[in-house]
Chain A
Amino acid sequence: DVKVTQSSRYLVKRTGEKVFLECVQDMDHENMFWYRQDPGLGLRLIYFSYDVKMKEKGDIPEGYSVSREKKERFSLILESASTNQTSMYLCASIFDGDSGNTIYFGEGSWLTVV
């Protein structure tokens, strides 16, 4: 089975701290994504990457950056955490099959910024 693993399930950080959220997938997928999910707003795309060292902005990239040094790992970075970044963060990767693409998600990381 495909596994997408997010390193931290629950984090509490202080305003202004630098925060790293790590995501690793074990199936050699090329495309990886970071979303955040807030009540009533659904899943919003922050950044995505379609190859090592490649990154593209999603719908809400402000306040975030990403790193993809190895194919299996896609990191989300909050340079200076703020309270409005309190949210659940979801990492995903895509499997390109013969009949379409299946998206695999991690379990999510709940970040609270105080």
Chain B
Amino acid sequence: DAKTTQPTSMDCAEGRAANLPCNHSTISGNEYVYWYRQIHSQGPQYIIHGLKNNETNEMASLIITEDRKSSTLILPHATLRDTAVYYCIVRVWGSYIPTFGRGTSLIVHP
């Protein structure tokens, strides 16, 4: 699986959009980009994934650049409950060994 690079930490004001970047410059054509988050003392939770096109669900939006070498997870209106560690991983569909980096620690402040 391709390696990802994320900032160690970020902060965001409550109610504002949180934009979390991820670099995956060695991504292959068949690798999906996945985002998970882990709230303190809990297991990671799936947020969203995509291959080429931008994706949106009830939790977030995923923007993938045209060359697919980077992506951004957008939490449109961050709340205090969004304070968590966010992991970006890339995986080949059908590859069943997910590898997690250290993620980005997002702190949402009042």
Contacts and interface: CB of A to CB of B under 8 A. Distances in A.
Contacts, number: 61
A108 B43 contact: yes
A95 to B, nearest CB: 9
A45 B100 CA distance: 9
B49 to A, nearest CB: 5
Interface stretch (A14-22, A61-69, A71-79, A98-106): A98-106
User: Secondary structure of the A side of the interface?
Assistant: strand
Interface size on A, as a range, is 20 to 34
Interface string B4-16: 0000000000000
A52 B45 CA distance: 25
Contacts of A35: 100
B94 interface: yes
B44 interface: yes
A41 B96 CA distance: 21
A4 B46 CA distance: 13
Contacts of A31: 96
Interface in B27-46: 32, 34, 36, 41-46
